Amino acid sequence: MASQPLQTGISPVAALRHFSLAAWVESWLEAERDQTGLWAPVMLGGGIAAWFLLPNPAMWAGFMLVACGLAALGALAGQGSRWGRALLVGGLLLAGGCGLIWFKSAWVAAPVLERPVVTSFSAKVERVDILAARERVRVVVTPLARPDLPPRFRVNIRENDAPSGLGAGAVIRMKARLMPPQHPALPGGYDFARRAWFDGIGATGTALGPVLVAKPSKGEAALRQRLSAHIHSRLDGGAGAIAAALATGDQGAISEADAEAMRRSGLAHLLSISGLHVTAVVGAAMLLLLKLLALSPRIALRWNVPLMAAGGGALAGIGYTLLTGAEVPTVRSCIAALLVLGGFALGREAMTLRLVATGALVVLLFWPEALVGPSFQLSFAAVTAIVALHQSRFAERWFAGREEGWGRRMLRGFMALLLTGLVVELALIPISLVHFHKAGLYGAFANMVAIPLTTFVVMPLEALALLCDVAGLGAPFWWLAGKALELLLALAHHVAGMPGAVSMLPNVPPLAFGLIVAGGLWLLLWQSKARRWGVVPLLAGIVGLWLAPVPDLLVSGDGRHIAARGSDGTVAMLRERAGDYSRAMLAESAGLDGDLAAFKDMDGARCTADFCVWRMAGRKTSAATGWTILASRSDHHVDVPLLNNACRAVDIVISDRRLPRGCTPRWLKLDRPQLNESGGVAISLSDPPALRSVRDGMSRHPWLNPRTVSPPRQWRTPERR
């Protein structure tokens, strides 16, 4: 009897299809061979993003195993082929990204304060930031001989309570109210606890009373602080605050009104030291060195003057980065500038997507947590969009230099600037909606004036003023710089106040945002016709944004702050005496560009000193079959049987206290124990209703389950001798 084959043979048709597909992929990757390296930071970032999205170590390990499996498949099945190498490298980068951020989160692990406390302590100051606009001084300190406190935390001190001699290295004594780093109060909100974990901040707080300096700082105030103080002494008000931000990155003196105007007008990027500022400093240093070195015929004839100027520009860029605090956008821009100067020294084309990819790769290797922050995303999205646009065939065809009259040349430059601004705004809108729930719509037009004004007028005048101040001759330049900055602020306020200047979106589903990012990268990083396929996920993501449910009811994590959407679209707040931060947080999460209405003015709301009850018509339902909601608004004792009867008559009950077991509404009960488990809640009263909470899919990321420390509840302050 003949033996049977151990494997099922593949049909000739299937084999032909398999080899045809492999041949097509191979030929496509061959045509895109200059672009495949651009996907290295994307794959590394994909692994980092997977770690943040997946909830527990088992899934992180599973993701890394799957990625390694892809790498093994590429190594075994695609030997000698481009698609095999792409799978191999891509799989290793995905696994490496996940492992890198996992390792970094464990490396920076530090105890976190368990509960709010009021305590006295001595501490050594690590860093001092002056927040002049808030009349506060913010210090990062290390407590001394207090193992029951986190090893590093941040405290705000009232300006009048801040002593002289407060600087890095000083030893201070204070009494402060400390609390653990805060998680988002509402779904989609800012997660300070995550950022504090990677910054090593175990608590935040406010000083209670004056701060005593036990040992003053040995040196003078940091150069950054002294330079900011000098600029404020030359320029007052908003102009001085913006000037200090441009020179040192210190935004503490910018008023909230000016900061909000800059955000709404799309000009906030000017306040964050990034590519624009580093480029201006490096370019100015190179130009100055070129002119000075060219004055010597001996140097000009015997030495490579452009190379020497490039070295001087590199030193200027590094010094400026260190001066301004070495934030991620500044470091990224400095790395990019150094790569540009290196390409210039080697005689290579400098500003390419490879340069951008290299900068992103360096930042992710050293600061992988930066991937999920708005700074990294906004910075690299803007630069990638600009470079990809100007390397495209369309830009080469329409905006390349040519022999033509000055009028047409100026018109062509104007159109190139406008198109660049529009492309950048389109690239930044989804990111702004995710992190801030709002996006400016007129930023492209505002930047057409603001960027040249800042780059070619404000910053050169400020540099000349600082240089001339050495001889006491900077006053005329400070006056001119002040007028230019006043013009910049006037532009920001005018654009911010225009109708429809800001688009609001309260809920951005992660899947929709991921599709938009994937589609945008596919369009920007490939060059062949296959890039057009990026439109598919891009449009799918936009549709996902359009269909995202809008919350009708918002409840903060402590249950005290509630916002409800009325039938006419207005959003009202339960406690009218809430602070500005709580009101702004609820308004943004509700997609409201403006202030919240008073709850007593909402249709159908009935309130007493202790409770409010109102009806809301759910979507796709009539008013008769709407939702009845009961919410507490005081800490007074309430008769339990009466409360239980009221609960049974409503659909939703919300309270910042523990409700009795007999309180059983028809659908949802949100009291203190439930909110402690879920965090803040956003409810869309659609058919069926949708509920999102801060802790959906409870993860085991380290900042959610940290090791904690806490001083005894009856801690006594040691007597001072």
Give 484 or 343, the one with higher predicted confidence.
484
Q: If you average pLDDT over each of 402-416, 523-537, 591-605, which comes out highest?
A: 523-537
Residue 623 has pLDDT above 60, yes or no: no
Specify the long-range contacts of residues 432-437, CB closer than 8 Å, at least 24 apart.
432/374, 432/378, 433/503, 433/505, 433/508, 433/545, 434/188, 434/508, 434/513, 435/190, 435/374, 435/377, 436/263, 436/374, 436/588, 437/188, 437/504, 437/505, 437/506, 437/508, 437/588, 437/589, 437/591
Q: For residues 283-310, give the mean pLDDT.
A: 81
Give the strand order in the sheet containing 681-684. Answer: 597-598, 571-573, 562-565, 553-555, 681-684, 690-693
Average pLDDT over residues 403-409: 74
> Which run of H or E residues covers position 117?
strand 117-131
- Coil, strand, or helix at residue 414? helix
- pLDDT of res. 312: 85
Model pLDDT, residue 538: 93
What's the rounded mean pLDDT across residues 583-587? 83
Give CA–CA dist 355/360, Å, rounded. Answer: 9
Q: Which of 484, 38, 441, 447 is nearest to 276 (CA)?
A: 447
CB-neighbour burial class of residue 145 (10 A; exposed 0-12, middle 13-18, buried 19+): exposed
The model's pLDDT over 525-537, given as tens digits with 9 standing for 90+, comes to: 988 888 889 999 9
Q: What is the pLDDT of residue 405?
A: 72
Residues 336-350 pLDDT 10s: 777 777 777 766 665
DSSP per-residue codes, 352-372 = SHHHHHHHHHHHHHH-GGGGG
**700 near 57, Cβ under 8 Å?**
yes
* pLDDT per position as a tens digit, 35-49: 888 999 999 999 999
Q: Who has greater pLDDT, 140 or 598? A: 140
- pLDDT higher than 80, residue 275: no
Between 640 and 599, whose confidence is greater? 640
* CA–CA gap between residue 692 and residue 544 (Å, rounded): 16
Predicted TM-score of the model (pTM): 0.85
CA 585, chain centre distance (Å): 16
Distance (Å, whole) CA 123 – CA 587: 38
Q: Is the pLDDT at 716 greater than 50, yes or no? A: no
The predicted pLDDT at position 462 comes to 87
Q: Say if residue 315's pLDDT is above 90.
A: no
pLDDT reading at 9 higher than 70:
no
Which of 375, 372, 437, 377 lies closest to 585, judged by CA?
Answer: 437
DSSP string, 56-68: SHHHHHHHHHHHH
DSSP reduced 3-state for 567: coil
Q: What is the 8-class DSSP label of residue 3?
A: P
- pLDDT tens-place string over residues 410-448: 787 777 777 887 888 888 888 888 888 888 778 778 887
For residue 233, what pLDDT is reported?
87
